[in-house]
Structure 1
Amino acid sequence: MQEPITIDADYLTSRLKALLSIPSPTGFTDEVARYCAKELEKLGLTVMLTRRGAIRALRPGSARRPARGIVSHLDTLGAQVKALKENGRLELVSIGHWSARFAEGARVSIFSSKGIYRGTILPLKASGHTFNEEVDTQPTGWPHVELRVDALTRHRHELVQLGIDVGDIVAVDPQPEFLDNGFIVSRHLDDKAGVAIMLAALEAMQRQEVETPVDTYWLFTIGEEVGVGASAALVPEIASLLAIDNGTTAPGQASQEFGVTLAMADQTGPFDYHLSKKLHQICLDLGVPVQKDVFRYYRSDAASAVEAGYDVRTALITFGVDASHGYERIHLHALMSNAKLAVYYAMSEVQIERDAEEVSGLRGFTRQTIPQAEQDLDPTQEIDPSSIFLR
């Protein structure tokens, strides 16, 4: 192992601030992809974009296979115009899954054919002076909010005259705050913080001239919030895929806003046994704070890659986010920890050499060994499988 990796906190936070300033709800990601691609080129990587704008950046290693992929997503939550209402306001549907409770009061931009308009998402009964206690008892949900446009829009036809139409994208202001104590509060930290982590990891690798045993592909997807994510971003050389995304710090979860939270499973099932074990051991060996968690209502770029048919080992490392998909809070300590782990992983030696081929024989295939002390069985004894469940 080379000298200890140092992550530039100023570089990481400055990239995060820049990313948050670029609106990028799913379906409106061209500009953030341009920014990210240019930053990757500054870092010396070869950058390719798919037709729709997912990014595949190559950092060469000593061998082409089995290549590694590290992925985060550029797209965020948002909304879309569902209908022009007769009262001159807009009905909305969400982009991605997030609660209308967090939408109420949000300042937004509407991207119309005639320009950008500003507005506010409000509950249907917004005035306490008019509706009294009904402002607190009205239902919560997307059918119960509307977008008030900051223009003369008293009637539907005035919205039409402004060029606002069904399907227009609505971007929600992030309203970021970077506090002196390391806390960062903003919307859309999922997953622009993950993108900033990857950029900071690459900056450290370039600055410290880190060499890797195999090629690493640094992937940035544009449809994770709607479930398609890495479905069209990988290349055949990639044998393992490490996703970087948000963890959920909430009651009943082990995620924290400090260190790395290593996800062992999400709603699509367990992550790869061997890759997850390796990442955990790297943290233990190199002093990266780590805890494990399982997410029941969660999926990431790793899931979309496997569902698209890529036979890759997957793992997920996360930075703990409080109030995920709401008004989110993270800590710089977790971002720095994840960036270090990403570098150490890219530097690590290949353990499963047969992964260089997509299909091969039993030779070199992995094992999942149960320690003898735990199974308390004679290894030479033939076992009746049914008896295991009776022990």
Structure 2
Amino acid sequence: MSTYPNVKETKELIQELVSIPSPSGNTKKVIQFVDNYLKKLNVKTEYNRKGALIATLPGTNQNEHRMLTAHVDTLGAIVKEVKSNGRLRLDLIGGFNYNSIEGEYCEIQTSSGDVFTGTILMHQTSVHVYKDAGKAERNQENIEVRIDAKVENAEEVRLLGIEVGDFVSFDSRVQITDNGFIKSRHLDDKASVAILLQLIKRMKQENITLPYTTHFLISNNEEIGYGGNSNITPETVEYLAVDMGAMGDGQSTDEYTVSICAKDSSGPYHYELRKHLVELAQTNEIGYKLDIYPYYGSDASAAIRAGHDIIHGLIGPGIDSSHAYERTHESSLEQTEQLLYYYLQSNIVPY
């Protein structure tokens, strides 16, 4: 296996991406960042009406296409209520639990573009005041945002310009350790976005002409279920989602290899494509794990449900503590990019 040429750049790119707030529904800034990155590589890009970005690398075969996707939208929240005590009640964007954001720093972006910082806390946080603070349920009724502004009631909050419907993003708290770990919120799925961007850069630097015209969809609504279900060209034969591999009890995925998904909540992925990916990994000495994710759906799942006649698959770096404070290792990034590198230069599986 050839050496991974750009792991330092990949980690730095992940750090930049996770530091740009982009909860589903408010992703324009991060999509523009990705577009600017690709434009510097002279890669053709276009936007769809949902605000996602599509990059295209022409291939030798223009009658059969491939599409790869990774999503840049993240978990987040939206202001449900401006409370009488001057704090904010939240409604969640994406699938996660309130306890995973308790104590987190956040930003509130108003519709006029102003940004205020805050902290997500239990209403009954102080143990000196609330006897059963530790036993109270972490839910929408009890969790609130303490705004970093001198406000004591709803009227003072509204004078700041904060209103119902404003987006709330969570501090990524990104850290890169000397021994190769990346700890951050939103590695799902900005780690994969960084991998695809670096992969495109590598193809350009090495002057590789792909065997098939290949589209890269940077989707922006995956966390709410429909990011990758449109803008798939009629010529597209294979559709590969690049998204995190989930870790936990009963899972084989780890932080050091690429995860190849056999099945998730939407059902099995295409068997021949899965076998092709495994064969590529074995031939090129790429570390991989096969896995099943019982409570998971991808952009490829959304594309199949939308009725597209495609061969679909899912791979990605292994991510610990998904939809919370996540972690992966640079070796998982390496194995994922290497598998994609060889996959893009391989033949489409028979259909």
TM-score range, shorter chain: over 0.9
Once the two structures are TM-superposed, the CA of residue 108 in structure 1 deviates from its matched residue by 0.5
Aligned partner of 1:143 in structure 2 is 141
Once the two structures are TM-superposed, the CA of residue 41 in structure 1 deviates from its matched residue by 1.7
Aligned partner of 1:128 in structure 2 is 127
Aligned mates of 2:341, 2:5 — CA distance in 1: 10
Structure 2: which 5+ residue stretches go unaligned? none
Aligned mates of 2:148, 2:234 — CA distance in 1: 49
* 8 Å contact kept, 2:185–2:325: yes
Aligned partner of 2:117 in structure 1 is 118
Select the residue among 85, 92, 95 that pairs with 2:93: 95
* 8 Å contact kept, 2:238–2:348: no
Alignment of 1:194-205 (within 5 A): 194-205=192-203
Aligned mates of 2:143, 2:102 — CA distance in 1: 7
Aligned partner of 2:22 in structure 1 is 24
Alignment of 1:331-350 (within 5 A): 331-350=329-348
Aligned mates of 1:150, 1:11 — CA distance in 2: 34
* 8 Å contact kept, 2:272–2:349: no
Establish whether residue 39 from structure 1 lines up as the match of residue 37 from structure 2.
yes
Aligned mates of 2:40, 2:216 — CA distance in 1: 14
Aligned mates of 2:140, 2:334 — CA distance in 1: 36
Normalising by structure 1, report the TM-score. Answer: 0.87
User: 3-state SS of the aligned residue for 1:164?
Assistant: coil
Structure 1: which 5+ residue stretches go unaligned? 353-365, 367-391
Paired letter, 2:227: G
Aligned partner of 1:179 in structure 2 is 177
Q: Larger Cα Rg: Structure 1 or Structure 2?
A: 1
Alignment of 1:202-217 (within 5 A): 202-217=200-215
Aligned partner of 2:70 in structure 1 is 72
Aligned mates of 1:230, 1:350 — CA distance in 2: 20
What count of residue pairs does the alignment treat as equivalent? 350
* 8 Å contact kept, 1:118–1:149: yes
Question: Which moved further from structure 2: 256-265 or 198-207?
Answer: 198-207
Select the residue among 304, 307, 313 that pairs with 2:305: 307
User: 3-state SS of the aligned residue for 1:146?
Assistant: strand
Once the two structures are TM-superposed, the CA of residue 50 in structure 1 deviates from its matched residue by 0.8
Aligned partner of 1:163 in structure 2 is 161
Aligned mates of 1:205, 1:113 — CA distance in 2: 40
Higher helix share: 1
Aligned mates of 1:69, 1:274 — CA distance in 2: 17
Percent sequence identity over matched residues?
36
Normalising by structure 2, report the TM-score. Answer: 0.97
Alignment of 1:346-361 (within 5 A): 346-352=344-350
Aligned partner of 1:232 in structure 2 is 230
Select the residue among 84, 100, 103 that pairs with 1:86: 84
Establish whether residue 294 from structure 1 lines up as the match of residue 292 from structure 2.
yes
Paired letter, 2:343: Y
